[in-house]
Every structure is written in C-alpha cells, then in structure tokens.
C-alpha cells in the first residue's frame, strides 16, 4: 500500500532531517511569506498528503483547510500545542510526535537546573572568572539539594523520570496532575497552589497548550514563597511569566531555573542580572543522541503513514 502525494515541510527542521525529506521523499517546503504561501497553497495544496513540522510553525485549521487531501501531521518533538489537534481529529488527520526518546535528556536537564539554581554553580563560576574570590572572599552559602521536598506538576513520562532521579537524592516527591497516577509511590496533591505551598522546589513538567496556559500563576508562585524555587522544563506558556519575573525581582521567590520561555527566543531582560536565576536557551533535549533518535522516529512515522496509512506514535 502506498498513499503517494506530496510531503510538505512546514517551518524549519534539523538540517539532516530536511535533507532526508528532500532526498527520500521529494518533500517541498511551504513558503513563509504570505503572498508566496497563498500562491503555493492554491497551486499545490491539493497534492499534499503529509505535513512534517516542528514547534517552530503553527499548523492551524486554516492551513489544514487549504490541504484537502492531508492525512497526517508528523511532528518533530514531543510537544504538539502548535498543532490544532481538535481540527485535525475532525478532519480525520492523524497527528504524531516523538515521545519517550527525549525523556531522559529532559529529565537530566531538570535535575541539572535544580542543582545549578539551588547551589548557584553558574553564579559561582562567574564569581571565580571575575576574579572576585581573592578580593571578596568565599561565596555566600547556598541551599542543599539532597533531601529537599520537590513537587512536580505533570507526572507523565518526563515528570516520572525526574521523580526517579530525585528519589536517588533522598528527596521527598509529591505531584499534581489532572488525574491521579495509579500505582505510584509519590503523594498526590489536589491543586498546584497546595503543591507549591508544601514543597521547597516546584518542577513544571506539564504539557503546553491552552489547557495549561498560566497554570502556574501568581497564586502558585506566592504559595511557593521566598524560600522556594521554580524549575520549568515544559513550556513557557505554563507559567505566568510576568508574575514570575515580578516575584524574582521583589525577592518573593528564592530562585528559578528556566529552559523555556513564553515568547522564545525572547527572554525577559530583567532576569539577566539576577544571580538567583539560571537561564537556558531551550536545550532540554539538545543532545546529539536525542535529536538523532527524534529524527529517526519522525521518519518512521512518515514512512509508516505513507505505506500503511497509520503513524507509529499518534498523540
């Protein structure tokens, strides 16, 4: 069985993936400028059966409407909030992502951010490089990571991997989810506010999208308090960024470790001067091994759909 049709790349992708799409599938790329995009869709939209994309592009109902033979949206990445999955379902369009293969690296990043934020290793590195140690003396004391209490918002694949790692540190783990996770040893807490109030560190590992926008709001941040730390490796949209910045500037939060932001690649400049904050450029899964595995799974989903009409990892 072969479905044929045109494979359409929407938005930028990893260069090796772009080459594979071009060489193996004669993929074409959707122009980014509005006039060229409209002309392309009018001329070629009826030929497209598969879209391959990533979090850098929006796949909305209007685009799907312009692709009447679209059967699948193949996404390079685990997050799919940039894809209108409800419209896709109504149109019978399959949507796939790349789960599992990036779990370990993102969980590693979360633990690294916790350690760096609480122990301030990046800040102490800058302290040494600036020549301040012999002049100003020892760096001020920081907070211990082991045996702290950690709350995780979103105990899915990544949240569970974070919890497993932190358990080895002797941390007490509790979590909040839309629903309880069966057969887990970790304590369930009914609301993000109650979870924040009960822990030293709050880790955001929930999926993005409108359903979780500003889930961590000013009330949650205030409940975490001036001795609490916020770590976000999920999506910037899950945290009310204005409330977070205000709390950090006013000392109402001890610190934050952030790999994601609400308007990437723009980061609130007010955070740049704060030694209590660690800022990463969305590198949670950015290792050679993980990106290669993500690419391989993306191509498996594409090949599977083109030959069988079904994707391997549907969302």
Side-by-side strand order, sheet with 48-54: 28-29, 6-10, 48-54, 72-76, 94-96
- Identified catalytic residue from 82, 176, 235, 291: 235
Residue 269 among the catalytic residues: no
Query: Dihedral, CA atoms, 125, 129, 134, 135, nearest 10 degrees?
Result: -110
- The answer to whether 292 touches 101, Cβ cutoff 8 Å, is no
- Identified catalytic residue from 58, 143, 213, 282: 282
- The answer to whether 71 touches 89, Cβ cutoff 8 Å, is no
Residue 32 among the catalytic residues: no
Please, how many CA atoms are within 13 Å of residue 225, restricted to the half-sphere of its CB? 10
Three-class secondary structure of residue 308 per DSSP: helix
Residue/partner pairs of 137-146 with CB below 8 Å, 24 or more apart: 142/118, 143/118, 143/119, 143/200, 143/229, 143/254, 144/118, 145/114, 145/115, 145/118, 145/119, 145/169, 145/171, 146/170, 146/171
Residue 235 among the catalytic residues: yes
Question: Tokens 């400049």 label which residue?
Answer: 269
**C-alpha angle 106-107-111 in degrees, rounded to nearest 5:** 115
Catalytic residue positions, numbered: 235, 264, 282
């Amino acid at each position: 069985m072969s479905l044929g049709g045109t494979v359409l790349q929407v938005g930028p992708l990893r260069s090796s993936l772009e080459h594979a799409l071009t060489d193996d599938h004669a993929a074409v790329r959707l122009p980014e400028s509005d006039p060229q995009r409209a002309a392309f869709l009018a001329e070629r939209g009826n030929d497209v059966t598969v879209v391959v994309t990533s979090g850098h592009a929006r796949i909305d109902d209007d685009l799907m409407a312009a692709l009447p033979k679209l059967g699948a949206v193949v996404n390079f990445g685990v997050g799919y909030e940039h894809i209108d999955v409800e419209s896709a379902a109504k149109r019978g369009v399959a949507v796939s992502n790349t789960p599992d293969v990036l779990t370990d690296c993102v969980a590693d990043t979360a633990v690294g951010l916790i350690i760096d934020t609480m122990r301030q290793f990046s800040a102490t590195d800058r302290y040494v490089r600036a020549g301040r140690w012999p002049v100003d003396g020892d760096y001020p004391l920081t907070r211990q990571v082991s045996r702290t209490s950690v709350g995780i918002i979103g105990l899915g694949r990544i949240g569970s991997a974070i919890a497993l790692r932190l358990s080895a540190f002797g941390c007490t783990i509790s979590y909040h989810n839309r629903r309880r996770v069966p057969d887990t040893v970790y304590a369930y807490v009914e609301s993000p506010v109650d979870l924040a109030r009960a822990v030293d560190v709050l880790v955001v590992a929930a999926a993005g999208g409108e359903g979780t926008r500003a889930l961590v709001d000013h009330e949650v941040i205030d409940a975490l308090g001036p001795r609490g730390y916020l770590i976000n490796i999920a999506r910037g949209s899950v945290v009310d960024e204005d409330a977070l910045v205000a709390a950090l500037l006013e000392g109402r939060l001890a610190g934050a470790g952030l790999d994601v932001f609400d308007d990437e690649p723009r980061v609130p400049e007010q955070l740049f001067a704060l030694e209590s904050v660690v800022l990463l450029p969305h590198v949670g899964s950015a290792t050679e091994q993980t990106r290669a595995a993500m690419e391989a799974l993306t191509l498996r989903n594409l090949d599977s759909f083109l030959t069988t009409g079904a994707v391997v990892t549907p969302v």
